[in-house]
Structure 1
Amino acid sequence: MFQILLTNDDGYDAVGLKALIEALSPIARVTVVAPAKNKSACGHSLTLDRPLRMICVQDDFYKIDDATPTDCVYISVGNLFKDGYKPDLVISGINIGANMGEDITYSGTCSAAMEAVLHGIPAIAISQVCKNMCQGIENGWDFELAKQTISKLATKILEGSFPLDERKFLNVNIPPIKAKDCKGFKITKAGFREYGNDTDRHLNPRGEEFYWIGLHPLIWKSSDDKSCDFEAIKENYVSISPIMLDMTSHSDIKNLENWLNN
């Protein structure tokens, strides 16, 4: 039987993770190892300054105290899957909120997929784009399109092959619509996110200042051919982007050599 490892960055009790379990349990044995609390925007970070405790919640379901999604994959591969055995697929999500453009570098959801491919395991990061952050939780979002999408992709990988080379993963974003309104899948590139600065300064009762970092609106620079992830979501397509961990700007190597030698 196929084995899928699931994790996320919204925490082990997140509604998106529950939806992911529902979608994938019929096609594989599912093991869940997730952070004990929300770790959104933690990036590809490992916890090196303190020990981590893995707690069994129920059969094949674990939470790790104050762990990052990267920790969850790293610890799982080294301890739950032994003697050279690895899961057939790692899936991270279903994240509440988009992970498109440069947000991929912040994303704990995507970072779990990064960690998986570093261990030679095929991986998918999947995120549910929301019109606002309460849409999925307070309004009873059904995740139906996300569940249909991840079930189809996982089945295609498990029964066939992973379409990417090593150290590459699939980044999937689901538009904020009902499944019946989706136009299909679109293969996309990561877009050019435009950022602002949403920082709120406050004072506590002792007069000490602190800051809340807020949420930026999804604003991006349009691509000429409308081929980026943001454009696909805007047009009600599921966005599937191939992401590589090699961040070298290969096109600039020769220019840099010329610059240095002149």
Structure 2
Amino acid sequence: MKKILLTNDDGFDSKGLLVLKEALQDIAQVLVVAPASEKSACGHGLCLTKPLRFIKVDDDFYKLDDGSPTDCIYLALNAIYKDGQKPDLIISGINLGSNMGEDVTYSGTAAGAIEGVIQGIPSIAISQMLKDKNLSNDFDFALAKKVIREIVLKIFDKSFPLGERKFLNINVPQISIKDFKGYKIAQKGYRLYANNAHLNRDPRGNEYYWLGLQPLAWKEREGIISDFSATKQGYVSITPITINMTSYEDMDLVQKWLEC
């Protein structure tokens, strides 16, 4: 039976993770290793300054105290899988909220998939767009479950479509299955950010900042289907992401600049 390793950045008890496990447990042997607490926007970081501990939640289900999604994948592959075994696929999600455009660089969800492909294992990051993530427990994730089952079955039946150090980033719009228009292979869009740092004072008068959520805004590019525009139109966006961030088109330019 195929093996799938799951993680997320919303924490081990997130409904998105639980429905992901539910959607796949009849087609693969599923192991869950997820953060003990929410690690949203933690990026691709490993914990190097304190010990990490597996806590068993259920059979083939662990939370990592107090690890990031990257820690979860790294340690699962090195401590739980034994005798040269490894999963056939790694899936990070289902994230509560989108991961589009430059949000991928902040995303702990994407980081789980990044660690997977660094370790040589086909990986997917999947996110569910939500107008209010605080209402996620009342959301049925029906379309996201349908999408991930279809993608995983296609991978197992055919093959993973990408080469080394590349992963699939999937974003599911907040629509019903009947309004689902299909899949759109889309570029990573240009996310627009504003300053959403709120200055407050604690009861002793000391200043502190609390970072708020950024509105979902992006820059349209003529002739380009981005993950933002695809999901807005009712499609599930699938974006192939490479973790090689070299700007090859600028190498000659920088060489000439250096020599002038």
Whether 2:127 is the aligned partner of 1:123: answer no
The letter for the 2-side match of 1:68 is S
Of the candidates 164, 167, 178, which is equivalent to residue 166 of structure 1?
164
**Alignment partner, residue 18 of structure 2:** 18
- 2:187/2:224 contact within 8 Å kept: no
**Secondary structure at 1:55's aligned position in 2?**
strand
Whether 2:233 is the aligned partner of 1:240: answer no
What is the correspondence of 1:51-200 to structure 2 with a 5 Å cutoff? 51-137=51-137, 140-200=138-198
**Alignment partner, residue 45 of structure 1:** 45
The letter for the 2-side match of 1:14 is S
Equivalent-residue separation in structure 2 for 1:205 and 1:191 (angstroms)? 42
Equivalent-residue separation in structure 2 for 1:102 and 1:164 (angstroms)? 21
The letter for the 2-side match of 1:50 is K
The letter for the 2-side match of 1:218 is L
**Secondary structure at 1:134's aligned position in 2?**
helix
Q: CA offsets, 1:76-124, max 9 Å, x none?
A: 0001112221100000000000100000000000000000000000000
The letter for the 1-side match of 2:201 is L
The letter for the 2-side match of 1:97 is G
RMSD: 0.8
TM-score scaled by length of structure 1: 0.98
Displacement of 1:7? 0.4
Equivalent-residue separation in structure 1 for 2:134 and 2:203 (angstroms)? 29
Equivalent-residue separation in structure 1 for 2:21 and 2:46 (angstroms)? 25
Displacement of 1:226? 3.7
Identity, in percent, stands at 55
- 2:69/2:112 contact within 8 Å kept: yes
**Alignment partner, residue 217 of structure 2:** 219
**Secondary structure at 1:85's aligned position in 2?**
coil
TM-score scaled by length of structure 2: 0.98
Equivalent-residue separation in structure 2 for 1:157 and 1:55 (angstroms)? 31
The letter for the 1-side match of 2:132 is N
The letter for the 2-side match of 1:61 is F
Of the candidates 200, 203, 220, which is equivalent to residue 202 of structure 1?
200
Equivalent-residue separation in structure 1 for 2:251 and 2:83 (angstroms)? 41
The letter for the 2-side match of 1:187 is I
Equivalent-residue separation in structure 2 for 1:92 and 1:109 (angstroms)? 5
**Secondary structure at 2:34's aligned position in 1?**
strand
Q: Which moved more, 1:77-86 or 1:193-202?
A: 77-86
Equivalent-residue separation in structure 2 for 1:5 and 1:225 (angstroms)? 37
**Alignment partner, residue 32 of structure 1:** 32
The letter for the 1-side match of 2:62 is Y
**Alignment partner, residue 230 of structure 1:** 228
Total equivalences in the alignment: 260
Where in structure 1 do 4 or more consecutive aligned residues deviate above 4 Å? none
The letter for the 2-side match of 1:62 is Y
The letter for the 1-side match of 2:37 is K
Q: Which runs of 5+ in 1 are unaligned?
A: none
Q: Which moved more, 1:83-92 or 1:39-48?
A: 83-92
**Secondary structure at 2:16's aligned position in 1?**
helix
